Amino acid sequence: MHRISDEQRRIRIGRRHLLAPSLRSESPVAVADAVVALHATDAATVFLSACARLRVPDAAAVEKHLYEDVSLVRLLSMRNTLFVVSDEMAPRVEASNARAVAAKERRNLLKHLAEDGNGLDEQWLADAEQSVLAALAAGGSATGSELSAAVPALRTKITVFPGKKQEAVQGVASRVIRVLAAEGRIRRDRPRGSWTSSQFRWTASDPRPEQETERAQAELALLWLRAYGPASEGDLKWWTGWGLGQVRKALAATGAEEVQLDSGATAWVAPQDHGSDPAPEPWAALLPALDPSAMGWADRGFHLPAEHRAALFDRSGNIGPTVWWNGRIVGGWALRTDGEPVWRLLTDTGREASASIEAEASRLAAWVGEARITPRFRTPLERELTA
């Protein structure tokens, strides 16, 4: 069995995730494909993750691909989480994950409507959805509040979890919009504010032709292995949200090969991908909260010392902004209210690393400009740095 060391895994991050300076891309779409999917729960993460990997960071270029030619697509998919993928990747993600997520979202909404006991049923939901689509067809795009003003059904209130401790009265607008978006019948358009805003407008969208689920899962697993391998069954299970049976079937379909890690554990790589990658030049990166290079594995021990976790993660397990040096997480960073980037190293990395990190911080500040960024998930170190 071939062996791949932790150092070789860290080299792969720099090369395959386009983080080494000479390997950075010209295209946000190529960036998304390199890491398979960009986390999009926090609107700013998409831009920060993409621009960290672009030779010339440019938020406007990312916006163009998201909202003009729509070559980058937001999907509610893996682990019921919002991601951005390339338009070419989207059918695989829809078939392997997003379609099941959308079906669950619809079932949950119909269950809440039925439990409310006011006769709101599947036909009522279908009529409300058609009214939303008609409003978007007439107006082109609209915010959630504008849609509620145009579609009376969206102003309906229901009681969720009646008779239980968590009973609450809620509006249906966000739930109906979420289902339509999950099914690909509408999509997020430009936000009301800057690229850091999550107050999106909505516009109509045509669902894509469906692909077969097992084939799509095998294709997605292979692409993920090329970006993140070697990795374990548990890593792929965590990243995708699939059951263990689905993970094993997908790995078998890819022809994945077993390798041994420094820890002695068995992991998987794409076929014939067990050789050593040449090391790129030394590199530093300031990656945002929920960046894919920090969220690609359930077991991050090969690039994240266990003693750093308390400072860099929130209570729900979301990782905050991180400082990287040659494939290791060595600290965290934040933007102060005046736009100044600040960071703290949790590992002594030496003068060369400090100079490279300083250069990356200056690069970040230059393209971010007047934008102010507060991560949606605040971590202890990020809070301390901005205090």
pLDDT tens digits, 30-68 = 999 999 999 999 999 999 999 999 999 999 999 999 999
- Write out the two tokens for 311: 């400072």
Query: What's the predicted TM-score (pTM) here?
Result: 0.94
pLDDT of residue 161: 87
- Write out the two tokens for 229: 């391998």
pLDDT of residue 164: 85
Instruction: Tell me how far CA of residue 137 lies from CA of 22, 133, 207, 377, in angstroms.
Output: 45, 6, 15, 35
19 contacts: CB under 8 Å, gap ≥ 6: 13, 52, 53, 283, 285, 293, 324
**Cβ proximity of 290 and 377 under 8 Å:** yes
**Cβ proximity of 314 and 383 under 8 Å:** no
pLDDT of residue 385: 94
**Cβ proximity of 22 and 280 under 8 Å:** yes
**Cβ proximity of 284 and 356 under 8 Å:** yes
d(CA 336, CA 297): 30
- Write out the two tokens for 327: 């494939």
Regions of the chain where pLDDT drops below 50: none
Alpha-helical (H) ranges within 272-350 are 309-312
pLDDT of residue 149: 93
As a whole number of Å, the CA-based R_g of the chain is 22
pLDDT of residue 294: 95
- Write out the two tokens for 231: 């990795």
48 contacts: CB under 8 Å, gap ≥ 6: 287, 288, 291, 373
pLDDT of residue 223: 97
Q: Which residue in 29, 30, 50 sits closest to 40, CA to CA?
A: 50
pLDDT of residue 356: 95
29 contacts: CB under 8 Å, gap ≥ 6: 65, 71, 72, 86, 87
What residues are paired with 72 via a beta bridge?
A: 86
d(CA 145, CA 110): 22
- In tens, the pLDDT along 101-133 reads 999 999 999 999 998 878 889 999 999 999 999
Q: Which residue in 331, 336, 333, 341 sits closest to 366, CA to CA?
A: 341
The label of the residue with tokens 């916006």 reads 63
**Cβ proximity of 161 and 168 under 8 Å:** yes
pLDDT of residue 118: 80
pLDDT of residue 70: 95
